[in-house]
Structure formats: structure tokens, C-alpha cells
Structure 1
Amino acid sequence: MSVGDSDLEELGMTPRDVLFVTCSLRTGASGRTILAYLSADIQQRVAAEPIPDEAGPGVFRDPEEFLASLTEIRDTGYALGFQECMKGWNSCAAPVIHHDTIMGAVLLLKPCTVMPEAPASVIDATVRAGSALSALGGWTPEP
């Protein structure tokens, strides 16, 4: 995670809240992006999970709408989140895949006042970053 010029307090959440809500596959563009590339069985189980209390007002509450969004992510190669993960913040995410296995997602998160809609340049940059990380393949930790 790179916070950039922001302070986590600007999110209106504690650092623990931020980590909890962003690690749920049920909330946020990054969680949905990762889930879109997992099995239908896992997708169904996650769709049935309760939504974390810390989630933003834009979170997909209807399980069928949530599941339909996963198909759209696979079709387009990215996800957009509008105040989904947290109030006041919009996002764009793209998958990081290695040998047909989802490894994670690249996520750009900006205040909705700065990015009310994701411009094509943001979507393209996020998808390119996900593709570049996917192309790197596996990684070897430094000794």
C-alpha cells in the first residue's frame, strides 16, 4: 500500500478499519477484481458473507448484482468502485495474474471529489500496471 500524500485519518477510519475493509473480497474494487478470477463456488460463498460494517455506502448489497459485477470485471479487465470500500473514496482496480492464477490486484483509490468518475486515462493506467505486474511472473524474496 502506498498512501502518497494522504494521511490515513483522512479516510475517516482507523488504520485497522482500513485494513479490515480492504482485505474483504466482499467489498471494494480490488476484492471484487480478485474474486472475479476465483471459482464460482468461492464467489457464491463470498456473496453470502455479511458486508463489513466499515464498508462505504456504494458497496454492492444485492448478492445477484454483486455476482453480476464479477462477470463484467472479467469481460472488461478492470473494476470501478464508487464509495464502495469507504465513504468519500472512489477506486479503479485491475487483476494481477500469473499462469492463470489470480495473485492480487492493483488498486487506485482517490477522493470522490477529485475523481467523481474514473477517466479513461486512470482506467488505462491501472490496467497497464496490472498487466505489467502480471508479466513479471513469480517473485523471489530477497535473502
Structure 2
Amino acid sequence: MQSLVHALIKLLPGVTPAAITSGRAIPALSAIYLFWTFGASGAISAAGQAMGRTQGFDNNHPRKHTHELEGLPLRLRSAHYALMENFPGFALAAALAQVLAPNDAQIVNLLGFHVLAKLAVHYPAYLANVAPPRTLAHVTATAALVNVCWRLAAGS
């Protein structure tokens, strides 16, 4: 898991391997997750809304027609919202970890697992409408955040 987390972090422009061991792994994971949650999946969700209407995207009333979405356009929007709903839990765990244990490899790996499970499994499975891996990724990613907070509370 650690090598996957390190590989993910190294994808960020300007982040060197030294940043991984200098307490910057958690901010790097946060930047990746933040970008995908609010930037990329938000843009993809808007594209889905445009696909879902013959008149295209209604920028004056962007939420007015969301109840009419079906199929892929609905999954694009729903996958985006699923990421947004889970981001606050990650943000809390990441902030606590950065303050209390920024160099704890186990904590960083658990946070990295959450990001990988959500972005590499949950999100694509949501778009593909494949429920079992989506559900498993959600449950294990959430368990990783609970584990992080539990370890931080216990001081281990």
C-alpha cells in the first residue's frame, strides 16, 4: 500500500520524493483528493447535466433540471456528490493527522488508501454502475478514516 500511496503523491507536479518523508504526504494526498472531488468530478458532473438535456446545460439555473437526469448523466452527478459527501470526513482525519502525526507511515497509508479507494475504485465503479466494488470501496475507505481517527485518539 505504501508504494501505491507514494506513487500517487509523486503524480503531483512539483512534489518531490523528499516531500513524502518530510511531513508533506498528507497535504499532497489532500490536494489530489480536493482537485478530483471539487474540480474534475465537478466539471464531469456539469458535462453530465449538459448531456442529460436536449437544450444543454442551463448555467442560469444549474440545479433546476437535475431531477430529470437518468442513466450516465445521473451517475456522473451522483458520483460527484458521493465524493463531496465523503470529503469532510477525510478533511477532518487529514487535518488531525497533519497536526498529531504527520510522519506516521501507518496513518499516511490509511489516508492514502481512502483516497485510492474513492478515486480509483468507488468513482469509476459508480460511473460504470457496478455496485459491489463501489460499495466495498466505500465501506473500506470509510473504515480507513475511522481507523485513522481511532489511532490518533489512542495516541498510537
TM-score tier, shorter chain, comes to: 0.3 to 0.5
Larger Rg over CA atoms? 2
TM-score by length of 2: 0.31
More helix by percentage: 2
TM-score under structure 1 length normalisation:
0.33
Give the structure, 1 or 2, with the largest relative contact order (CA under 8 Å, sep 6 or more). Answer: 2
Bigger strand fraction: 1
